[in-house]
Amino acid sequence: MSKPPLVVVDADAIVAQASPADNLHIKAVKIAKNLAQINAQVLYPATAITEAITHIQRVLGSGAVAYAIAIAFTDPNINVVEINQNTLKHAAQFFSPTTSKKNTFYDCIVAAVAEEYKAGAVFSFDNFYKKKGLKLAYEL
């Protein structure tokens, strides 16, 4: 029997799952259910969590949802990956002055975490990861 895949989650997937009005909500929920069915080990970089919460609070204007997500991620059963200086150094390898403004340093951190943990995929809808040689969760 093969080992369940390891998947690193980006902020866009968290936002899409938490926001029924998001264009990717249904797809995100379907992918999350599939990850649960295949017993994937899911990792959440601390920066992806904070980015998602900030987006929901500031851009979507939903303090209540942002708060609920912040509280949900305090659950000890959720695998939160702490970001340290080594991760930042690794992430800097994905970043440059000409990096698209759509591909932020937050994305570079997710890619670094995926490589550090030898993840099978990234749960995101951003093709940045595919361009960096990583698989996306919907491909599992």
Cα(46)–Cα(31) distance, integer angstroms: 21
Residue 117 sits in a domain whose CATH number is 3.40.50.1010
Query: Does 71 fall in a domain?
Result: yes
Q: Are 130 and 33 in contact (CB under 8 A)?
A: no
Query: Does 15 fall in a domain?
Result: yes
Q: Does 80 have pLDDT greater than 90?
A: yes
pLDDT tens digits for range 106-127: 999 999 999 999 999 999 999 9
Q: Does 2 have pLDDT greater than 80?
A: no
Query: Does 16 fall in a domain?
Result: yes
Cα(30)–Cα(36) distance, integer angstroms: 10
Establish how many alpha carbons lie within 13 A of residue 98's alpha carbon, considering only the half-sphere containing its beta carbon: 0
Cα distances (angstroms) measured from residue 26 to each of 22, 29, 122: 8, 5, 18
Nearest one of 131, 87, 127 to 109, comparing CA atoms: 87
Instruction: Report the pLDDT averaged over residues 71-80.
Output: 96
Burial 123-133 (b: 16+ CB within 10 A, else e): bbbbebbeebe
Query: Does 1 fall in a domain?
Result: no
Query: Does 41 fall in a domain?
Result: yes
Give the count of domains, the chain.
Answer: 1
- Can you say whether the dihedral through the CA atoms of 65, 70, 73, 74 is positive or negative? negative
Q: Within 10 Å of residue 90's Cβ, how many Cβ atoms? A: 17
Residue numbers of the domain that contains 45: 6-138
Query: Does 117 fall in a domain?
Result: yes
pLDDT tens digits for range 6-62: 999 999 999 999 999 999 999 999 999 999 999 999 999 999 999 999 999 999 999
What pLDDT score does 96 carry? Answer: 87
Beta bridge partners of 41: 6
